[in-house]
């Protein structure tokens, strides 16, 4: 009887371990998207916060955002501010607030 009890306990522990492992991988997979957005937001703020790159008045238009190029941490090539804004999940209306442009602009 002790052998059967030990076997059942081992099987239960293995199943619980598998459930925990699968749950951990699911949590990690879901959080990667949030990390990507946070990284894009950091790069966006770095780019548009530099007034030598981004002018809050003229570059805030859709055409202006296409002309501004930003360096990103995940690539050697720069991308447009508009592409980075979309990846960072920031709306066009909120961009100037996100970039600390101020209300006088």
The pLDDT tens digits of the residues spanning 1-51 come to 688 889 999 999 999 999 999 999 988 888 777 778 889 999 999 998 888
The pLDDT tens digits of the residues spanning 61-72 come to 878 888 899 999
The pLDDT tens digits of the residues spanning 77-91 come to 999 999 999 999 999
Q: Are strands 79-80 and 69-70 parallel, antiparallel or unpaired?
A: antiparallel
Which sign does the torsion angle of CA 90, 46, 87, 92 carry?
positive
Task: Report the pLDDT value the prediction gives residue 105, as an integer from 0 to 100.
Answer: 44
pTM of the entire predicted model: 0.66
61 φ/ψ sector (left φ>0, alpha ψ -120 to 50, else beta): beta
Which tokens is 94 given? 């909120």
């Amino acid at each position: 009887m002790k052998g059967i009890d030990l076997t059942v306990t081992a099987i239960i522990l293995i199943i619980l371990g598998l459930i925990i492992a699968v749950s951990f991988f699911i949590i990690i997979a879901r959080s990667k998207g949030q990390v990507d957005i946070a990284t894009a937001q950091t790069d966006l703020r770095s780019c548009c916060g530099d007034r030598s790159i981004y002018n809050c008045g003229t570059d805030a238009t859709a055409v202006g955002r296409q002309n501004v190029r930003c360096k990103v941490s995940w690539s050697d090539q720069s991308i447009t501010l508009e592409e980075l804004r979309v990846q960072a999940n920031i709306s066009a209306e909120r961009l100037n607030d996100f970039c600390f442009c101020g209300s006088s602009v």
